[in-house]
Amino acid sequence: MDTRPAPAIDAAAMLEQVKAWSAINTGTGNLDGLARQADALAEAFSVLPGSVELVDPAPVIAIAADGSEYEKANGRHLVVRVRPGANRRIVLTGHMDTVFPPDHPFQQQRWLDDHTLNGPGVADMKGGIAVMLHALLAFEQRPAASSLGYDVLINSDEETGSLASADLIAELAAGKLAALTYEPAALPDGTLAHERGGTGNYSITLKGRSAHAGRNPEDGRNALVAAADLILRLKRLEREDITVNPAKLEGGGPNNVVPGHALLRFNIRPKSTAAMEGFDTALDGVLDEIATVHEVAVHRHGGVTRPPKPVDARAQALFDLVRQCGAELGQDIGWKSTGGVCDGNNIAACGVPVVDTMGVRGGAIHSSDEYLIVPSLAERAALSARVIERLAEGALAEHGAGKGEPK
């Protein structure tokens, strides 16, 4: 067992950063808040020995309720590059956005007890960003630091699928030895998320023909009826390895008008790549049937945004390394599979081993009850610092990690 002392972590400074960052509203669509947060993070990460850059988001096309396309605005992403010429390189990722827009009632922090802070984003994932930063600060004090390079990405749109940062994630992940992502632990005891399913979001526009509901309904083509039929057919595509969630149906108007327009939004959760690909093929057939049976025009938008994340031998070696480092620090690290998704899915799709719940212990994320277990700030920063140091010393090299082979 490695008996070297745990790295020194400034827990008080971490807490103050989390509180300051949580006080900035960074709902994904709040561009002003995201700009303030990006500037604050750029200043905080400037203490690392590398370059700091704010990168413009990639264009994202979304579908309005009337079926028209529009460009969805997103905030800039933070990228930090340290020792880009190093032979061993890793990538660390996080996100600055939250699910709480400026008009959400959950904007304030409060102490639940001496060790538990309730507040927007304190666990997901402004606490995680602090863990990442202070782990890197601690690592930079170690002798092995000069032998490892790393890129940091903190994106502005993770909570809505990372569509404006997906290409940047792939670019920074390519060829890396390993990746660490700072989502909060899967359970309050620090359990890591292991295998993950995938997710996809779709918008289906159906255009029929309006008509008077009393005088000539036979001339109409009811888009809502077509959408209702589509919902039932989609649910019949569910299997043990994939679920389908019709989430929102928009359209229609006065009771005396046959509705000529409808928009259906739905989500899928495939557990495997085969399920993901099978659904995509089956969906084309279903949409053709709807168009024929109901005599409506059908337009499909969207698809899988995060593929399933299996854990192969190289990824398992990284999990084992995290567990070993935890044991050296007196932390009992376990893991479990989950149906949730994150940027770890995107990274794994690049063929890079990733552990994506290296952030704080806490819970009730995406709700007004979100909380951070404050002692976990220093605890998890020490864990990450030890893992990064071991990677710098050559851990995982025997597993062939970092070659960027596709899975």
Q: Summarize pLDDT for 54-68 with one digit per residue, the tens.
A: 999 999 999 999 999
Domain's final residue, options 306, 328, 350:
306
In a domain, 4, yes or no: no
Threshold 0.85, pTM exceeds: yes
Q: Does one domain contain both 84 and 106?
A: yes
Q: Does one domain contain both 292 and 186?
A: no
In a domain, 333, yes or no: yes
Q: How many domains, in total, are found in the chain? A: 2
Q: Does one domain contain both 271 and 242?
A: yes
Q: Does one domain contain both 26 and 170?
A: yes
Q: Does one domain contain both 184 and 213?
A: no
Whether the pLDDT of residue 96 is over 50: the answer is yes
Q: Does one domain contain both 243 and 271?
A: yes
Q: Summarize pLDDT for 269-315 with one digit per residue, the tens.
A: 999 999 999 999 999 999 999 999 999 999 999 999 999 999 999 99
pLDDT at 404: 37
In a domain, 334, yes or no: yes
| CATH number of the domain residue 302 falls in | 3.30.70.360
In a domain, 5, yes or no: no
Q: Does one domain contain both 227 and 158?
A: no
Q: Does one domain contain both 216 and 182?
A: no
In a domain, 392, yes or no: yes
Structure token digits, residue 338: 């989950």
| CATH number of the domain residue 31 falls in | 3.40.630.10
Local confidence band at 8 (pLDDT 50, 70, 90 cut-offs): confident
Q: Does one domain contain both 203 and 192?
A: no
pLDDT at 3: 66
User: What range does the domain containing 164 cover?
Assistant: 11-196+310-399
